Structure 1
Amino acid sequence: MKQTILLLFLFLSFTINAQGPLTKFGINMANKSFAIGYYEKEGRQVATIPMIHVNKPEFYKMTKQKIDSLRNDGYHVFYESIDTNVTDSLKLDLLMRKFRQVTGFALMDYMDSENETFKSLQKAKYVSQAEVDYGVNYKTDHHADLYLEQMIELFEKRFGEITLNDCDTTTPLGKKYKCSKVDESKEYYILNGIRDRHVLDEIEKSSAQKIVVVFGRIHVMDLHSKLQKLGWEHQREKTERINEFNK
């Protein structure tokens, strides 16, 4: 049975490129620059919707409208989600702790009361993308992301086995991570590098004429240049400001 660890999480470094940190200020700044990107190659079309995985309900109401509209126009939805097929609880715990050592955070819902990293957002009445209907149908849409076990396997093939220390094994997953220093290049590799490569492969091999990629904002920013390197021409981009976030 497939277990969903955390739906649609983004690059959680506290120095997140142009998006800014995952704080109220950073989220509001990202909302102000929300835009759907459009690309074309050999008669095929790709649209990209940049998700922010913690936000106010108004944001997800809007994304649902956008995704529904594109779906009605014949677009196939490719969505982001780190899932796992591992059912053994001990093996899954090991994988999650290995992931945390590389990234510095655990695969937990942002709004989980045991997730200490995002207490301030929990108090600010934001909601997690995983808790609302934002337009993706997990039963019929296309899962275009890697599984946790695939991510760890690819990482260890490149960098060697991840060895946990005593702190890694004894610190609860929800606690702030202080067991070792995070290598930002390795963090980027596991969070963005291999996952971006995977969704690009999924797009290239798909027979769908129209695809809408519903991924985190940082992924979409990276995909902008990577799609063009693969011959996808950037067509147009419309920025839509989102109101009512400061109420």
Structure 2
Amino acid sequence: MVQGTGVLRDASRKFELRHGDRSVVYIPMRHLGTRVYYDQIQRAVDSLQHSGYVVFYESIAYQVDSAAQRDLYDRKFRKLTGNRLGLQQCIEIPGDTSRVLRAPMYRKLGQRIISQPDYSFFLVNYETAVNADIPKNKLLDEFEYLYGAINLDDCDYKTPLQEPYSCKPIKAALKNKFDKEFVMKKREENLASLVADAPQQKILILFGTSHFKGFLRNLQARDPKWIQIN
């Protein structure tokens, strides 16, 4: 089961797209993996940046004014996903990370498995890099605008964010809408839009593995001249 999630893969892969003189390299990121896997990505990022590629990276980091606002958004996000905050650094396919952590053999893997490092580990040049994602607070605001307020109860407020979460879950239908329409669809549409309209000729995308197909579909819907060459 652990093998099936891809976290034991030691070799990173790349997808390459072309449109005339424009080039896009997409490195699908996993939020758990081997150190060898992340070392290979580091070397690839460093090499491609030296070849003129500009990094477009995944990050749903908040854009809020206070710790109190962040705390409230964290509790709403936890209500929607059912996850303990801090269990994973980014959003992955629902259940992927938790399946790995529940696997009987996980504790025997020791230090072979690590969480995805910060982008500084991959030597990303932040002076030129572009955050090509949507802040988590905006995703939650849009969700509430369309489907109503995420109501928190006493249990939600009293349970610390880093503790196991066992409060009354939100309706499964709403959770599924958030997963499909916001975690996946909106972010893939946003990434495709940014890439299509970007002035950069060479773009290196560091984004979740599960988002590539949706990103490519949206990019080609905007302009069919984008072709995948590998």
TM-score normalised to the size of structure 1?
0.74
Match of 1:227 among 202, 219, 225: 219
Aligned to 1:14: none
The answer to whether the 8 A contact 1:49-1:214 is kept is yes
The answer to whether the 8 A contact 1:49-1:215 is kept is yes
Aligned to 2:93: none
1:17-63 superposed Cα distances (whole Å, 9 cap, x missing partner): xxxx7x4651346x378531111224322111101111111111101
Aligned to 1:50: 28
Distance 2:47 2:116 in 1: 19
Distance change >3 Å, CA 236–CA 222, structure 1 → 2: same
Distance change >3 Å, CA 91–CA 124, structure 1 → 2: same
The answer to whether the 8 A contact 1:39-1:232 is kept is no
Distance 1:145 1:232 in 2: 24
Distance change >3 Å, CA 51–CA 150, structure 1 → 2: same
Distance change >3 Å, CA 124–CA 227, structure 1 → 2: farther
The size of the alignment, in residue pairs, is 211
1:150-182 superposed Cα distances (whole Å, 9 cap, x missing partner): 111221222122111223222222334442154
Aligned to 1:84: 62
Shift of 1:106: 4.1
The answer to whether the 8 A contact 2:17-2:25 is kept is yes
Distance change >3 Å, CA 220–CA 177, structure 1 → 2: farther
Aligned to 1:192: 184
Identical counterparts, % of pairs: 28
Shift of 1:207: 0.5
> Structure 1: any 5+ residue segments left out of the alignment?
1-20, 112-116, 238-247
The answer to whether the 8 A contact 1:79-1:143 is kept is yes
The answer to whether the 8 A contact 2:192-2:216 is kept is no
Distance change >3 Å, CA 28–CA 162, structure 1 → 2: closer
Residue identity opposite 2:187 in structure 1: R
> Structure 2: any 5+ residue segments left out of the alignment?
90-97
Distance change >3 Å, CA 169–CA 232, structure 1 → 2: farther
Aligned to 1:17: none
The answer to whether the 8 A contact 1:155-1:190 is kept is yes
TM-score normalised to the size of structure 2?
0.78
User: What SS does the corresponding residue of 1:174 show, helix, strand or coil?
Assistant: coil
Distance 1:33 1:65 in 2: 12
Distance change >3 Å, CA 97–CA 68, structure 1 → 2: same
The answer to whether the 8 A contact 1:37-1:234 is kept is no
Residue identity opposite 1:124 in structure 2: G
Aligned to 1:35: 13
Shift of 1:224: 2.8
User: What SS does the corresponding residue of 1:40 show, helix, strand or coil?
Assistant: strand
For 1:1-247, what aligned pairs fall within 5 Å after superposition? 23=2, 25-28=4-7, 31=9, 34-108=12-86, 110=88, 118=101, 124-125=110-111, 126-131=113-118, 133-178=121-166, 179-180=168-169, 181-182=171-172, 183-230=175-222, 231-237=224-230
Distance 2:102 2:192 in 1: 34
Distance 2:196 2:85 in 1: 29
**Bigger CA drift: 189-198 or 51-60?**
189-198
Residue identity opposite 1:81 in structure 2: S
**Bigger CA drift: 55-64 or 124-133?**
124-133
After TM superposition, the runs of 4+ consecutive aligned structure 1 residues lying more than 3 A away are 117-124, 137-140, 175-178
